[in-house]
Structure 1
Amino acid sequence: MKICRFNENRLGLVEGDEILDVTSVADSLPPVHWPLPRGDMLIENLERLRPAFEAAKVTAQRHAVVDVELLSPVANPGKIIAAPVNYKLHLDESRADEGIHFGSHVKTIEECGVFLKATSSLVGPSEGVVISMPERRTDHEIELAVVIGRRGRNISEADALDYVAGYAIGLDITIRGPEERSYRKSLDTFSVLGPWLVTADEFGNPSNADFEIKINGESRQKANTRDLIFDARKLIAYAAQAYTLEPGDIIMTGTPEGVSSIFPGDVMKCWMDRIGTMDVKIRGNEG
Protein backbone atom coordinates (compact mmCIF):
# COMPACT_ATOMS: atom_id res chain seq x y z
CA MET A 1 0.00 0.00 0.00
CA LYS A 2 0.89 3.64 -0.48
CA ILE A 3 -0.61 5.72 2.31
CA CYS A 4 -0.70 9.50 2.41
CA ARG A 5 -2.02 12.38 4.48
CA PHE A 6 -3.36 15.27 2.45
CA ASN A 7 -5.25 18.57 2.57
CA GLU A 8 -6.87 19.05 6.00
CA ASN A 9 -5.52 15.84 7.54
CA ARG A 10 -7.36 13.58 5.13
CA LEU A 11 -6.18 9.97 4.90
CA GLY A 12 -5.55 8.56 1.45
CA LEU A 13 -4.47 5.51 -0.52
CA VAL A 14 -2.38 6.22 -3.60
CA GLU A 15 -3.19 4.28 -6.76
CA GLY A 16 -1.41 5.44 -9.88
CA ASP A 17 -1.91 9.18 -10.24
CA GLU A 18 -4.95 9.24 -7.97
CA ILE A 19 -5.57 9.45 -4.23
CA LEU A 20 -8.55 7.63 -2.76
CA ASP A 21 -9.96 9.38 0.30
CA VAL A 22 -10.26 6.70 3.01
CA THR A 23 -10.39 9.07 5.99
CA SER A 24 -13.29 7.08 7.45
CA VAL A 25 -10.83 4.30 8.33
CA ALA A 26 -9.38 6.54 11.06
CA ASP A 27 -12.66 6.13 12.96
CA SER A 28 -11.56 2.55 13.68
CA LEU A 29 -8.54 3.69 15.68
CA PRO A 30 -8.69 3.13 19.45
CA PRO A 31 -9.98 6.10 21.48
CA VAL A 32 -7.27 7.96 23.38
CA HIS A 33 -7.24 10.08 26.51
CA TRP A 34 -4.67 12.23 28.24
CA PRO A 35 -1.88 11.43 28.80
CA LEU A 36 -1.58 10.41 25.16
CA PRO A 37 0.35 7.21 24.40
CA ARG A 38 3.71 7.59 22.71
CA GLY A 39 3.95 6.87 19.03
CA ASP A 40 1.75 7.32 15.97
CA MET A 41 -1.53 5.49 16.40
CA LEU A 42 -2.24 5.05 12.70
CA ILE A 43 1.19 3.56 11.98
CA GLU A 44 0.84 1.24 14.98
CA ASN A 45 -2.46 -0.12 13.64
CA LEU A 46 -1.67 -0.29 9.92
CA GLU A 47 -1.72 -4.07 9.64
CA ARG A 48 -4.95 -4.39 11.60
CA LEU A 49 -6.60 -1.76 9.40
CA ARG A 50 -5.71 -3.30 6.03
CA PRO A 51 -9.18 -4.87 5.54
CA ALA A 52 -10.79 -1.53 6.41
CA PHE A 53 -8.65 0.25 3.83
CA GLU A 54 -9.70 -2.23 1.17
CA ALA A 55 -13.37 -1.88 2.05
CA ALA A 56 -13.20 1.93 2.06
CA LYS A 57 -11.71 1.99 -1.45
CA VAL A 58 -15.02 0.86 -2.95
CA THR A 59 -16.83 4.14 -2.28
CA ALA A 60 -13.83 6.45 -1.83
CA GLN A 61 -13.79 9.86 -3.44
CA ARG A 62 -10.90 10.14 -5.87
CA HIS A 63 -8.53 13.07 -6.30
CA ALA A 64 -5.71 13.64 -8.75
CA VAL A 65 -2.37 13.62 -6.92
CA VAL A 66 -1.47 16.95 -8.53
CA ASP A 67 -4.59 18.59 -7.07
CA VAL A 68 -3.94 17.92 -3.36
CA GLU A 69 -1.61 19.29 -0.70
CA LEU A 70 0.59 16.46 0.54
CA LEU A 71 1.45 16.45 4.25
CA SER A 72 3.90 14.21 6.07
CA PRO A 73 2.49 10.66 5.96
CA VAL A 74 3.50 10.30 9.62
CA ALA A 75 1.54 12.73 11.76
CA ASN A 76 2.94 12.04 15.23
CA PRO A 77 6.49 10.70 15.28
CA GLY A 78 7.95 10.27 18.73
CA LYS A 79 11.44 10.95 17.41
CA ILE A 80 13.39 11.53 14.24
CA ILE A 81 16.70 9.69 14.25
CA ALA A 82 19.30 10.67 11.67
CA ALA A 83 22.53 9.10 10.44
CA PRO A 84 25.42 11.46 9.61
CA VAL A 85 28.08 10.83 6.92
CA ASN A 86 26.65 7.40 6.10
CA TYR A 87 27.98 7.29 2.52
CA LYS A 88 31.74 7.11 1.96
CA LEU A 89 31.78 9.71 -0.83
CA HIS A 90 29.77 12.15 1.30
CA LEU A 91 32.28 11.65 4.11
CA ASP A 92 35.05 12.51 1.64
CA GLU A 93 33.32 15.65 0.39
CA SER A 94 32.52 16.75 3.95
CA ARG A 95 36.18 16.50 4.90
CA ALA A 96 37.28 18.36 1.75
CA ASP A 97 34.78 21.24 1.89
CA GLU A 98 35.44 23.83 4.60
CA GLY A 99 31.93 25.15 4.04
CA ILE A 100 30.71 21.84 5.45
CA HIS A 101 33.24 20.99 8.16
CA PHE A 102 33.97 24.54 9.44
CA GLY A 103 37.47 23.60 10.54
CA SER A 104 36.44 20.57 12.58
CA HIS A 105 37.38 16.94 11.94
CA VAL A 106 34.46 15.08 10.39
CA LYS A 107 34.11 11.79 12.23
CA THR A 108 32.88 8.58 10.65
CA ILE A 109 29.43 7.27 11.57
CA GLU A 110 31.14 4.54 13.60
CA GLU A 111 32.74 7.29 15.71
CA CYS A 112 29.87 9.74 16.07
CA GLY A 113 26.78 7.51 16.00
CA VAL A 114 23.30 8.83 15.23
CA PHE A 115 21.62 12.06 16.35
CA LEU A 116 18.08 13.31 16.99
CA LYS A 117 16.12 15.96 15.10
CA ALA A 118 13.25 17.94 16.59
CA THR A 119 9.86 16.54 15.58
CA SER A 120 8.69 20.15 15.17
CA SER A 121 10.88 20.30 12.04
CA LEU A 122 8.70 17.75 10.22
CA VAL A 123 6.62 18.81 7.20
CA GLY A 124 5.19 17.28 4.06
CA PRO A 125 6.33 18.08 0.53
CA SER A 126 3.54 20.57 -0.20
CA GLU A 127 4.43 22.63 2.87
CA GLY A 128 7.88 23.42 1.52
CA VAL A 129 11.12 24.49 3.17
CA VAL A 130 11.72 27.91 4.72
CA ILE A 131 15.16 29.52 4.59
CA SER A 132 14.94 31.26 7.96
CA MET A 133 18.65 32.08 8.29
CA PRO A 134 19.51 33.52 4.85
CA GLU A 135 22.94 34.65 6.06
CA ARG A 136 23.92 30.98 6.53
CA ARG A 137 24.59 28.32 3.89
CA THR A 138 21.58 26.00 3.68
CA ASP A 139 22.00 22.61 1.95
CA HIS A 140 19.70 19.88 0.68
CA GLU A 141 20.26 16.25 1.70
CA ILE A 142 18.07 13.52 0.19
CA GLU A 143 17.77 10.16 1.98
CA LEU A 144 15.77 6.99 2.35
CA ALA A 145 13.53 7.37 5.41
CA VAL A 146 12.53 4.30 7.42
CA VAL A 147 9.30 4.43 9.44
CA ILE A 148 9.11 2.10 12.45
CA GLY A 149 5.92 0.07 12.77
CA ARG A 150 6.14 -1.59 16.17
CA ARG A 151 7.78 -1.10 19.54
CA GLY A 152 11.18 -2.62 20.15
CA ARG A 153 14.45 -2.32 22.03
CA ASN A 154 17.75 -4.19 21.60
CA ILE A 155 16.71 -5.38 18.16
CA SER A 156 19.09 -7.64 16.25
CA GLU A 157 20.14 -6.83 12.69
CA ALA A 158 18.59 -10.13 11.59
CA ASP A 159 15.18 -9.07 12.93
CA ALA A 160 15.43 -5.33 12.21
CA LEU A 161 13.27 -5.14 9.10
CA ASP A 162 10.43 -6.92 10.92
CA TYR A 163 9.97 -3.65 12.84
CA VAL A 164 9.52 -1.48 9.73
CA ALA A 165 6.09 -0.18 8.71
CA GLY A 166 7.32 1.36 5.48
CA TYR A 167 9.56 3.78 3.66
CA ALA A 168 9.42 7.31 2.27
CA ILE A 169 11.70 9.94 0.78
CA GLY A 170 13.33 12.09 3.42
CA LEU A 171 14.96 15.50 3.13
CA ASP A 172 17.38 16.35 5.94
CA ILE A 173 17.85 20.09 5.34
CA THR A 174 20.78 21.69 7.17
CA ILE A 175 22.44 25.00 7.80
CA ARG A 176 26.23 24.80 7.85
CA GLY A 177 28.17 26.02 10.85
CA PRO A 178 29.98 25.03 14.02
CA GLU A 179 26.93 24.07 16.09
CA GLU A 180 25.84 20.52 16.85
CA ARG A 181 23.93 18.73 14.09
CA SER A 182 20.73 18.51 16.13
CA TYR A 183 20.53 22.32 16.20
CA ARG A 184 21.52 22.95 12.58
CA LYS A 185 19.14 20.31 11.21
CA SER A 186 16.10 20.96 13.41
CA LEU A 187 14.91 24.33 12.17
CA ASP A 188 11.21 24.46 11.32
CA THR A 189 10.52 22.70 7.96
CA PHE A 190 14.00 21.10 7.91
CA SER A 191 12.67 17.51 7.91
CA VAL A 192 10.56 16.74 4.85
CA LEU A 193 8.84 13.35 4.56
CA GLY A 194 6.85 12.15 1.59
CA PRO A 195 5.29 11.97 -0.80
CA TRP A 196 3.62 9.02 0.95
CA LEU A 197 4.47 5.95 2.98
CA VAL A 198 5.10 2.79 0.95
CA THR A 199 4.50 -0.23 3.18
CA ALA A 200 7.44 -2.54 3.73
CA ASP A 201 5.89 -5.47 1.86
CA GLU A 202 5.42 -3.36 -1.26
CA PHE A 203 8.78 -1.56 -1.10
CA GLY A 204 10.93 -4.66 -0.68
CA ASN A 205 14.69 -4.52 -0.19
CA PRO A 206 15.81 -1.17 1.31
CA SER A 207 19.44 -1.90 0.43
CA ASN A 208 18.96 -1.54 -3.32
CA ALA A 209 17.03 1.63 -4.13
CA ASP A 210 18.09 4.25 -6.66
CA PHE A 211 17.30 7.86 -5.84
CA GLU A 212 18.01 11.36 -7.10
CA ILE A 213 17.40 15.02 -6.33
CA LYS A 214 17.32 17.77 -8.93
CA ILE A 215 17.35 21.48 -8.13
CA ASN A 216 15.59 23.55 -10.78
CA GLY A 217 16.10 20.64 -13.18
CA GLU A 218 19.82 20.16 -12.44
CA SER A 219 20.84 16.81 -10.95
CA ARG A 220 22.69 17.31 -7.66
CA GLN A 221 22.62 13.96 -5.83
CA LYS A 222 22.17 10.54 -7.44
CA ALA A 223 22.97 7.29 -5.67
CA ASN A 224 21.80 3.87 -4.52
CA THR A 225 21.20 2.73 -0.95
CA ARG A 226 23.54 -0.23 -1.53
CA ASP A 227 26.36 2.24 -0.80
CA LEU A 228 25.21 2.99 2.75
CA ILE A 229 27.91 2.36 5.37
CA PHE A 230 25.27 1.42 7.99
CA ASP A 231 22.37 -0.06 6.01
CA ALA A 232 18.77 0.05 7.23
CA ARG A 233 19.14 -3.14 9.26
CA LYS A 234 22.27 -1.94 11.02
CA LEU A 235 20.83 1.53 11.69
CA ILE A 236 17.70 0.10 13.30
CA ALA A 237 19.74 -2.25 15.48
CA TYR A 238 22.21 0.51 16.38
CA ALA A 239 19.47 2.99 17.33
CA ALA A 240 17.59 0.34 19.32
CA GLN A 241 20.61 -0.13 21.58
CA ALA A 242 19.96 3.36 22.93
CA TYR A 243 16.29 4.12 22.30
CA THR A 244 13.05 2.22 22.53
CA LEU A 245 11.77 2.44 18.97
CA GLU A 246 8.06 3.14 18.71
CA PRO A 247 5.48 3.18 15.90
CA GLY A 248 5.92 6.29 13.79
CA ASP A 249 9.56 6.88 14.69
CA ILE A 250 11.48 7.99 11.61
CA ILE A 251 15.05 7.01 10.78
CA MET A 252 16.78 9.18 8.18
CA THR A 253 19.42 6.84 6.78
CA GLY A 254 21.94 9.41 5.51
CA THR A 255 22.74 11.31 2.34
CA PRO A 256 25.21 10.66 -0.49
CA GLU A 257 27.70 13.04 -2.08
CA GLY A 258 26.52 16.12 -3.96
CA VAL A 259 25.06 18.25 -1.17
CA SER A 260 24.85 21.91 -2.15
CA SER A 261 23.10 25.16 -1.35
CA ILE A 262 19.43 25.96 -1.88
CA PHE A 263 17.78 29.38 -2.06
CA PRO A 264 14.27 30.88 -1.97
CA GLY A 265 12.56 30.24 -5.28
CA ASP A 266 14.32 26.90 -5.88
CA VAL A 267 12.35 23.72 -6.46
CA MET A 268 13.69 20.36 -5.29
CA LYS A 269 12.47 17.42 -7.36
CA CYS A 270 13.07 14.23 -5.39
CA TRP A 271 12.69 10.73 -6.80
CA MET A 272 13.19 7.29 -5.31
CA ASP A 273 12.73 3.89 -6.87
CA ARG A 274 9.49 2.15 -5.75
CA ILE A 275 8.29 5.30 -3.99
CA GLY A 276 7.82 8.00 -6.59
CA THR A 277 8.46 11.72 -7.01
CA MET A 278 7.82 14.80 -4.92
CA ASP A 279 8.43 18.49 -5.61
CA VAL A 280 9.40 20.68 -2.66
CA LYS A 281 9.53 24.47 -2.99
CA ILE A 282 11.97 26.70 -1.11
CA ARG A 283 10.84 30.05 0.22
CA GLY A 284 12.15 32.81 2.45
CA ASN A 285 10.73 33.87 5.79
CA GLU A 286 8.52 36.40 4.08
CA GLY A 287 7.10 33.78 1.72
Structure 2
Amino acid sequence: MEFGRLITAMVTPFDERGQINWDETARLIDYLILDQKSDSLVIGGTTGESPTLSDQEKLELFRFAIDKANNRCKIIAGTGSNNTAHSIYLTQEAEKLGVDGLLLVVPYYNKPSQEGMFRHFEAIAQSTELPIIVYNVPSRTMSSLSVKTTLRLANIPNIVGTKECASLEHVTLVATSAPADFKVYTGDDSVTLPALAVGAYGVISVAAHVVGSSMKDMIDSFNQGDVREATALHQKLFPIFKGLFDCPDPLPNPAAIKYALQLLGHDVGEPRLPIIPPNEDEMKFIKELIAVI
Protein backbone atom coordinates (compact mmCIF):
# COMPACT_ATOMS: atom_id res chain seq x y z
CA MET A 1 0.00 0.00 0.00
CA GLU A 2 1.39 3.38 -1.05
CA PHE A 3 0.26 6.18 1.26
CA GLY A 4 2.37 8.83 -0.45
CA ARG A 5 4.80 11.32 1.00
CA LEU A 6 2.43 14.01 2.29
CA ILE A 7 -0.12 12.72 4.79
CA THR A 8 -2.32 15.20 6.63
CA ALA A 9 -3.48 14.40 10.16
CA MET A 10 -6.92 15.94 9.70
CA VAL A 11 -8.72 18.03 12.31
CA THR A 12 -12.27 17.06 13.22
CA PRO A 13 -14.68 19.93 12.48
CA PHE A 14 -17.21 20.66 15.23
CA ASP A 15 -20.30 22.85 15.19
CA GLU A 16 -21.27 25.40 17.87
CA ARG A 17 -22.67 22.57 20.03
CA GLY A 18 -19.41 20.64 19.89
CA GLN A 19 -20.83 17.96 17.60
CA ILE A 20 -19.21 16.80 14.36
CA ASN A 21 -19.95 19.24 11.55
CA TRP A 22 -20.45 16.88 8.63
CA ASP A 23 -20.89 19.55 5.97
CA GLU A 24 -17.61 21.16 6.95
CA THR A 25 -15.91 17.76 7.16
CA ALA A 26 -16.88 17.16 3.54
CA ARG A 27 -15.55 20.57 2.47
CA LEU A 28 -12.33 20.04 4.42
CA ILE A 29 -11.64 16.68 2.79
CA ASP A 30 -12.08 18.22 -0.66
CA TYR A 31 -9.82 21.12 0.27
CA LEU A 32 -7.05 18.90 1.64
CA ILE A 33 -7.09 16.69 -1.44
CA LEU A 34 -7.55 19.29 -4.16
CA ASP A 35 -5.90 22.43 -2.78
CA GLN A 36 -3.33 21.11 -0.32
CA LYS A 37 -2.33 18.00 -2.32
CA SER A 38 -2.61 15.46 0.50
CA ASP A 39 -1.77 11.92 -0.59
CA SER A 40 -3.51 10.41 2.44
CA LEU A 41 -5.53 11.60 5.42
CA VAL A 42 -5.29 10.37 9.00
CA ILE A 43 -8.78 10.40 10.49
CA GLY A 44 -9.27 10.26 14.24
CA GLY A 45 -5.66 10.90 15.21
CA THR A 46 -4.38 13.27 17.86
CA THR A 47 -4.95 16.30 15.62
CA GLY A 48 -8.47 14.96 15.07
CA GLU A 49 -8.97 15.05 18.86
CA SER A 50 -9.10 11.29 19.27
CA PRO A 51 -9.05 11.45 23.10
CA THR A 52 -12.45 13.17 23.10
CA LEU A 53 -14.08 11.23 20.24
CA SER A 54 -16.31 8.28 21.09
CA ASP A 55 -15.89 4.99 19.26
CA GLN A 56 -19.15 5.66 17.44
CA GLU A 57 -17.93 9.08 16.29
CA LYS A 58 -14.63 7.63 15.10
CA LEU A 59 -16.34 4.92 13.08
CA GLU A 60 -18.77 7.42 11.59
CA LEU A 61 -15.84 9.63 10.63
CA PHE A 62 -13.99 6.72 9.03
CA ARG A 63 -17.05 5.77 6.98
CA PHE A 64 -17.74 9.36 5.96
CA ALA A 65 -14.12 10.02 4.93
CA ILE A 66 -13.99 6.87 2.81
CA ASP A 67 -17.15 7.86 0.97
CA LYS A 68 -16.14 11.50 0.51
CA ALA A 69 -12.56 10.78 -0.56
CA ASN A 70 -13.90 8.31 -3.13
CA ASN A 71 -10.46 6.85 -3.86
CA ARG A 72 -8.89 10.27 -4.44
CA CYS A 73 -6.60 9.71 -1.48
CA LYS A 74 -5.98 6.99 1.09
CA ILE A 75 -7.83 7.02 4.41
CA ILE A 76 -5.79 6.01 7.46
CA ALA A 77 -7.76 5.36 10.64
CA GLY A 78 -6.41 6.23 14.07
CA THR A 79 -7.36 3.12 16.04
CA GLY A 80 -4.54 2.89 18.57
CA SER A 81 -4.81 3.33 22.33
CA ASN A 82 -3.16 2.08 25.51
CA ASN A 83 -5.63 -0.82 25.68
CA THR A 84 -4.65 -3.63 23.31
CA ALA A 85 -8.05 -5.32 23.30
CA HIS A 86 -9.84 -2.05 22.60
CA SER A 87 -7.37 -1.21 19.82
CA ILE A 88 -8.07 -4.59 18.22
CA TYR A 89 -11.82 -4.00 18.42
CA LEU A 90 -11.62 -0.55 16.82
CA THR A 91 -9.15 -1.80 14.21
CA GLN A 92 -11.42 -4.62 13.14
CA GLU A 93 -14.44 -2.33 12.96
CA ALA A 94 -12.46 0.13 10.85
CA GLU A 95 -11.33 -2.67 8.56
CA LYS A 96 -14.96 -3.68 7.98
CA LEU A 97 -15.70 -0.13 6.84
CA GLY A 98 -12.95 -0.25 4.23
CA VAL A 99 -10.21 2.07 5.48
CA ASP A 100 -6.90 1.81 3.66
CA GLY A 101 -4.61 1.64 6.67
CA LEU A 102 -4.11 2.27 10.36
CA LEU A 103 -2.10 4.63 12.56
CA LEU A 104 -1.38 3.05 15.96
CA VAL A 105 0.10 5.17 18.72
CA VAL A 106 2.54 3.85 21.31
CA PRO A 107 0.54 2.98 24.45
CA TYR A 108 0.40 6.02 26.69
CA TYR A 109 0.17 6.47 30.46
CA ASN A 110 0.63 2.81 31.45
CA LYS A 111 4.26 2.92 30.18
CA PRO A 112 4.78 -0.67 28.98
CA SER A 113 8.22 -2.19 28.50
CA GLN A 114 9.76 -2.56 25.07
CA GLU A 115 8.61 -6.18 24.98
CA GLY A 116 5.12 -5.10 26.05
CA MET A 117 5.00 -2.53 23.25
CA PHE A 118 6.19 -5.09 20.74
CA ARG A 119 3.51 -7.57 21.79
CA HIS A 120 0.85 -4.84 21.75
CA PHE A 121 1.55 -3.95 18.11
CA GLU A 122 2.10 -7.58 17.16
CA ALA A 123 -1.32 -8.54 18.55
CA ILE A 124 -3.07 -5.76 16.65
CA ALA A 125 -1.20 -6.63 13.44
CA GLN A 126 -2.27 -10.25 13.77
CA SER A 127 -5.90 -9.18 14.11
CA THR A 128 -6.08 -7.40 10.74
CA GLU A 129 -4.89 -7.56 7.16
CA LEU A 130 -4.60 -3.78 6.93
CA PRO A 131 -1.21 -2.05 6.60
CA ILE A 132 -0.12 -0.36 9.83
CA ILE A 133 1.98 2.70 10.61
CA VAL A 134 3.14 2.77 14.23
CA TYR A 135 3.32 6.16 15.89
CA ASN A 136 6.19 6.98 18.21
CA VAL A 137 5.56 10.26 20.06
CA PRO A 138 7.44 10.22 23.40
CA SER A 139 6.38 13.76 24.37
CA ARG A 140 2.77 12.57 24.56
CA THR A 141 3.08 8.93 25.60
CA MET A 142 6.00 9.11 28.08
CA SER A 143 7.23 5.91 26.42
CA SER A 144 9.38 5.62 23.33
CA LEU A 145 9.78 2.74 20.93
CA SER A 146 13.46 1.98 20.80
CA VAL A 147 15.20 1.63 17.47
CA LYS A 148 15.60 -2.09 18.17
CA THR A 149 11.89 -2.57 18.87
CA THR A 150 10.90 -0.54 15.81
CA LEU A 151 13.13 -2.72 13.63
CA ARG A 152 11.58 -5.87 15.13
CA LEU A 153 8.14 -4.51 14.27
CA ALA A 154 9.32 -3.67 10.75
CA ASN A 155 9.68 -7.41 10.10
CA ILE A 156 5.97 -8.01 10.70
CA PRO A 157 4.53 -8.09 7.16
CA ASN A 158 1.66 -5.65 7.61
CA ILE A 159 3.56 -3.14 9.76
CA VAL A 160 4.71 -0.99 6.87
CA GLY A 161 5.95 2.21 8.44
CA THR A 162 6.51 4.43 11.44
CA LYS A 163 5.59 8.01 12.28
CA GLU A 164 8.52 9.32 14.31
CA CYS A 165 8.39 12.27 16.65
CA ALA A 166 11.67 11.29 18.26
CA SER A 167 15.13 12.63 17.38
CA LEU A 168 16.69 12.82 13.94
CA GLU A 169 19.21 10.32 15.25
CA HIS A 170 16.33 7.90 15.87
CA VAL A 171 14.96 8.55 12.37
CA THR A 172 18.40 7.98 10.87
CA LEU A 173 18.97 4.68 12.64
CA VAL A 174 15.55 3.29 11.76
CA ALA A 175 15.76 4.43 8.14
CA THR A 176 19.25 2.97 7.80
CA SER A 177 18.44 -0.51 9.08
CA ALA A 178 14.76 -1.13 8.28
CA PRO A 179 13.67 -3.24 5.30
CA ALA A 180 13.70 -1.34 2.03
CA ASP A 181 9.90 -1.20 1.80
CA PHE A 182 9.42 0.07 5.37
CA LYS A 183 8.54 3.77 5.29
CA VAL A 184 9.73 6.26 7.91
CA TYR A 185 7.59 9.38 8.29
CA THR A 186 8.44 12.31 10.49
CA GLY A 187 5.60 13.65 12.60
CA ASP A 188 7.33 16.99 13.13
CA ASP A 189 6.67 19.46 10.33
CA SER A 190 9.68 21.58 11.22
CA VAL A 191 12.15 18.76 10.48
CA THR A 192 10.52 17.46 7.29
CA LEU A 193 13.43 18.41 5.08
CA PRO A 194 16.18 17.31 7.51
CA ALA A 195 14.32 14.03 8.03
CA LEU A 196 14.18 13.43 4.27
CA ALA A 197 17.91 14.08 4.15
CA VAL A 198 18.61 11.28 6.66
CA GLY A 199 16.32 8.74 5.02
CA ALA A 200 12.70 9.51 5.91
CA TYR A 201 10.11 8.92 3.21
CA GLY A 202 7.66 11.70 4.03
CA VAL A 203 5.71 13.54 6.70
CA ILE A 204 2.46 13.07 8.60
CA SER A 205 1.64 16.71 8.98
CA VAL A 206 -0.44 19.29 10.83
CA ALA A 207 0.76 22.33 8.90
CA ALA A 208 -0.33 20.68 5.64
CA HIS A 209 -3.82 21.96 6.44
CA VAL A 210 -2.63 25.42 5.41
CA VAL A 211 0.66 24.99 3.50
CA GLY A 212 0.35 21.45 2.16
CA SER A 213 0.84 22.41 -1.48
CA SER A 214 4.11 24.18 -0.65
CA MET A 215 5.21 21.24 1.48
CA LYS A 216 4.54 18.91 -1.45
CA ASP A 217 6.68 21.18 -3.64
CA MET A 218 9.47 21.05 -1.05
CA ILE A 219 9.38 17.26 -0.87
CA ASP A 220 9.25 16.94 -4.66
CA SER A 221 12.14 19.37 -5.10
CA PHE A 222 14.29 17.40 -2.69
CA ASN A 223 13.51 14.08 -4.35
CA GLN A 224 14.25 15.56 -7.77
CA GLY A 225 17.68 16.68 -6.56
CA ASP A 226 16.91 20.40 -6.36
CA VAL A 227 18.17 20.84 -2.82
CA ARG A 228 18.53 24.60 -3.21
CA GLU A 229 14.80 25.01 -3.96
CA ALA A 230 13.84 22.55 -1.22
CA THR A 231 15.96 24.51 1.26
CA ALA A 232 14.39 27.81 0.22
CA LEU A 233 10.90 26.39 0.72
CA HIS A 234 11.88 24.91 4.09
CA GLN A 235 13.19 28.26 5.26
CA LYS A 236 10.04 30.03 4.07
CA LEU A 237 7.72 27.53 5.76
CA PHE A 238 9.72 27.09 8.97
CA PRO A 239 8.09 29.98 10.90
CA ILE A 240 4.67 28.46 10.20
CA PHE A 241 5.83 24.98 11.20
CA LYS A 242 7.09 26.28 14.53
CA GLY A 243 4.49 28.97 15.10
CA LEU A 244 1.52 26.58 14.97
CA PHE A 245 2.89 24.90 18.09
CA ASP A 246 4.86 27.68 19.81
CA CYS A 247 2.59 30.68 19.30
CA PRO A 248 4.51 32.24 21.02
CA ASP A 249 4.21 29.94 24.04
CA PRO A 250 3.44 26.23 23.52
CA LEU A 251 -0.18 25.76 22.46
CA PRO A 252 -1.77 22.28 22.53
CA ASN A 253 -2.58 20.86 19.13
CA PRO A 254 -5.05 21.34 17.41
CA ALA A 255 -5.95 24.72 18.93
CA ALA A 256 -3.71 26.77 16.63
CA ILE A 257 -4.40 24.91 13.39
CA LYS A 258 -8.16 25.04 13.96
CA TYR A 259 -8.00 28.81 14.43
CA ALA A 260 -5.75 29.16 11.37
CA LEU A 261 -8.28 27.22 9.32
CA GLN A 262 -11.07 29.46 10.58
CA LEU A 263 -9.11 32.52 9.44
CA LEU A 264 -8.88 30.92 6.00
CA GLY A 265 -12.64 30.42 5.82
CA HIS A 266 -13.04 26.87 7.11
CA ASP A 267 -15.70 26.58 9.79
CA VAL A 268 -14.00 23.80 11.79
CA GLY A 269 -15.14 25.12 15.17
CA GLU A 270 -13.32 25.12 18.49
CA PRO A 271 -11.55 22.17 20.10
CA ARG A 272 -13.34 20.09 22.68
CA LEU A 273 -12.33 20.45 26.29
CA PRO A 274 -9.83 20.04 27.83
CA ILE A 275 -8.19 21.75 24.82
CA ILE A 276 -9.23 25.40 24.67
CA PRO A 277 -9.10 27.96 21.83
CA PRO A 278 -6.23 30.45 21.57
CA ASN A 279 -6.43 33.55 23.72
CA GLU A 280 -6.35 37.07 22.26
CA ASP A 281 -2.56 37.32 22.15
CA GLU A 282 -2.30 33.87 20.57
CA MET A 283 -4.98 34.72 18.00
CA LYS A 284 -3.10 37.88 17.05
CA PHE A 285 0.10 35.86 16.64
CA ILE A 286 -1.61 33.25 14.44
CA LYS A 287 -3.23 35.95 12.27
CA GLU A 288 0.17 37.51 11.63
CA LEU A 289 1.73 34.07 11.09
CA ILE A 290 -0.58 33.03 8.28
CA ALA A 291 -0.95 36.46 6.71
CA VAL A 292 1.82 35.50 4.29
CA ILE A 293 0.09 32.32 3.07
TM-score scaled by structure 2? 0.26
Q: When you count helix as a share of all residues, which structure comes out higher?
A: 2
TM-score scaled by structure 1? 0.27
Higher RCO, 1 vs 2 (CA within 8 Å, ≥6 residues apart): 1
Q: When you count strand as a share of all residues, which structure comes out higher?
A: 1
